[in-house]
Structure 1
Amino acid sequence: MNGSLNKPKGFGQILDQTFRLSRQHFKTFFLVFLTLIGPFFLLQALISLVTGTSFLKETTVGTDIFTGGFENWANDLAAEEEMVTPASFIGSILIFLVTCITLFIYPAAQGAIIFAVDHIRKGESFTYKQILRESFSRYGPILGSSLILLLIGGGMGLIPSMLVIFIVAFGTVIHPLIGVMLLLVLFGAIFVGVLYFMVRWGFGVAVSAMEKGFAPGLARSWHLTKRRSWTIVGLFLIFGLILGVISAGLELTLGLFLGNSVLYQLIVNLVTLFTTMVVSVGYSIIYFDLKIRNDGDDLDQLIDEYETV
């Protein structure tokens, strides 16, 4: 049994456990996302290639990478946006459809990571095929919870945003500065509010994976997070900040050399798989931490361990 995963953890301990497990089990965890999501990213790349996007695009030789290189990259992107052809338009639609399909696959990958972390905390060995099989055995409830959360989050963000746009437009008529202030304050409030409620309901996916039954698990998630809501919000903000800086820095650097090429898109998608994997590990660790705090799972584990001695 992994003791560090079977007792309540603080803010820093959860971050440490997340990155430690992601490093120790990188091969298995990343393989889950690569095999489930990777083919769809490859299909998107093939669509881009067939519809006219260059596979490899370099900056002008002899141009300084941080001045002329960036300007050339920006000019290339602007030129591509102006040259919209029927083939590129159809390609964009196909890529959008493929992206929508991946929304039905991500929950299976998340479920596999949840089962893997469960095995780790119990001190059990596991294989890539085993955690995938366990995830797909609960795919229906996991997918259902994920889609419900997606609809809730979309509705919570879209409806208030429409109202905010109207308010900001009215404020801008009075004075542009008022419009800017309203924009920052109101959209900031919407972001924090949506994030809070998604945290309160968001562990319904883990509940659907680990606890039997076909209910979406929203009520159970609300109960689990009732005393840790803002801590979890802070954790996900830190995850987003750390991984966002890494992704943005890498994407900007690659963009200077490759432009918006197919190779660039493939590398960015691989980085997306990595960051999604890390967040999934963190999500799983937080879920089991919440269970320990609410259900006394650590005591149950110790009793079971004592009885087997």
Structure 2
Amino acid sequence: MNGSLNKPKGFGQILDQTFRLSKQHFKTFFLVFLTLVGPFFLLEALINLMMGTSFLKEVSVGPEIFSGAGFESWANDIAAEEEALTPGYLIGSLLLGFVTIVSFFIYPAAQGAIIFGVDHIRKGESFTYKQILKEGFSRYGPLLGSTLLISLIGGGMMIIPMIIIVFLIAFGSLVHPFIGLMMSIVLFTALFVGVLYFMVRWGFGVAISAMEKGSAPALGRSWHLTKRRTWTIVGLFVIYALIVGVITGVLPLTLGLFLGNSVVYQLVVNLVTLFTTMIISVGYAIIYFDLKIRNDGDDLDQLIDEYETV
């Protein structure tokens, strides 16, 4: 049994566990996402190639990019993109959208596999990526159902208030531009915080659907688990988002200077996205088990089981 994963953890300990486990089990966890989502990225690359995207494109970097010739080349690229809006291009765009939608339905199985992997780690059990993949798909129905439900709730919480806020800001701007500005800052901040709060309270329904077969409805159970840890969890996900933002921002931006929006560049960005998604998935699983220990006394159950086997 992994003692550090079977007792309540503080903010820093959860972050440390997230990156430690991601490093120690990188090959296994990354293979989960690469096996499930990687083929969709390859399919996207093939579609982009058929749409005329360069496989490997170098972009000039230096003073010449600011010269007249550089601006002329940039203008020619924009004109070429406008001419590319052919039926074939539109069909390719539709295919890319379809691939993206289909890949969304695969992510719950990957998340479930990571949850099962972390569960094996905390129990001190060995496992393979094929094993946790199988376990993830064994709960695919509940995982997908919870993911879709939470996504729909989150979308509804964003879209409907957004429409109301836009009307309020427009009305405030008619009274005075400064009033409209202040209303936009206050209302959009309130919307962001509110949505984040409820997504944290309900968001662990996915993990519950994977691990607690006989539990109460997942959303209600998630609300119960997070009742005293909401803002701590919000802070953790903000830290995850900042770290992921740096990784997904700096590296692709640097590569983009040399590769442009080529197929190779898109593949590299997709691989970086898989890596960061893996880290967040591991963190999500660790937070879930921490909540479960705090609320259900799972650490005591583990100790009792170990004592009885001695």
Sequence identity percentage? 72
The corresponding residue for 2:125 is 124
Secondary structure at 2:7 match in 1: coil
Q: Which moved more, 1:108-117 or 1:96-105?
A: 96-105
Distance 1:205 1:76, change over 3 A: farther
Distance, in Å, in 1 between the alignment partners of 2:246 and 2:64 is 20
Distance 2:64 2:152 in 1: 43
Separation in structure 1 between the aligned mates of residue 247 and residue 253 of structure 2, nearest angstrom: 10
Residues 141 and 214 in structure 1, CA contact (< 8 A), matched pair in contact too: no
- Cα pair distance change 1:22/1:108, threshold 3 Å: same
1:250-277 deviation line (CA, Å, top 9, x unaligned)? 1211111111111111111111101100
Match of 1:158 in 2: 159
Cα distance in 1, alignment partners of residues 65 and 214 from structure 2: 55
Map of 2:37 onto structure 1: 37
Q: Does 1:90 align with 2:91?
A: yes
Amino acid across the alignment from 2:31: L
The alpha carbon displacement at 1:75 in A equals 6.0
What's the Cα RMSD here? 2.2
Deviation at 1:148, TM superposition (A): 0.4
Match of 2:173 in 1: 172
2:6 is the alignment partner of 1:6: yes
Query: Structure 2 CA distance, aligned partners of 1:93 and 1:47?
Result: 10
Deviation sequence 1:168-190 (CA, Å, 0-9, x none): 22233333343333222212211
Q: 1:164 to 1:290 in 2, by over 3 A?
A: same
Q: 1:27 to 1:179 in 2, by over 3 A?
A: same
- Name 1:308's counterpart in structure 2: 309
CA contact (8 A) 1:200 1:226 kept: yes
Q: How many residues align?
A: 307
Matches within 5 A, 1:41-190: 41-60=41-60, 63-64=62-63, 78-79=78-79, 82-86=82-86, 87-190=88-191
Deviation at 1:7, TM superposition (A): 0.4
In structure 1, C-alpha distance between the alignment counterparts of 2:160 and 2:152, rounded to whole Å: 12
State the SS of the aligned residue for 1:37.
helix
Could you tell me whether the CA contact under 8 Å between 1:144 and 1:216 is conserved in 2?
no
Amino acid at match of 1:131: I
Counterpart-to-counterpart distance in 2, 1:306 and 1:148: 41
Greater mean alpha carbon deviation, residues 145-154 or residues 213-222 = 213-222
Name the stretch that deviates more: 26-35 or 206-215. Answer: 206-215
Shift of 1:88: 2.3
* Structure 1 residues 76 and 227: CA distance shift in structure 2, 3 A: farther
Distance 1:117 1:246 in 2: 24
Task: With the length of structure 1 as denominator, give the TM-score of the two structures.
Answer: 0.93
Instruction: For residue 14 of structure 1, report the CA deviation from its aligned partner.
Output: 0.3
For the residues of structure 2 that align with 1:255 and 1:180, how far apart are their CA atoms? 35
CA deviation digits over 1:145-177, x for unaligned, max 9?
011001001001110011111122223333334
1:94 CA displacement: 1.1
**Letter of the 1:85 counterpart:** L
**Structure 1: how far apart are the matches of 2:12 and 2:249?**
24
Q: Which residue of 2 aligns with 1:21?
A: 21
Distance 1:50 1:200, change over 3 A: same
**Structure 2, unaligned stretches of length 5 or more?**
none
How many angstroms apart in 1 are the aligned matches of 2:227 and 2:191?
20
Unaligned runs of 5+ in 1: none
Which amino acid counterpart does residue 182 of structure 2 have in structure 1? M
C-alpha contact (below 8 Å) 2:215/2:221 kept by paired residues: no
Residues 59 and 72, structure 1, Cα contact 8 Å, conserved in 2: no
Cα offsets for 1:114-138 (capped at 9, x unmatched)? 0000000000000111101111111
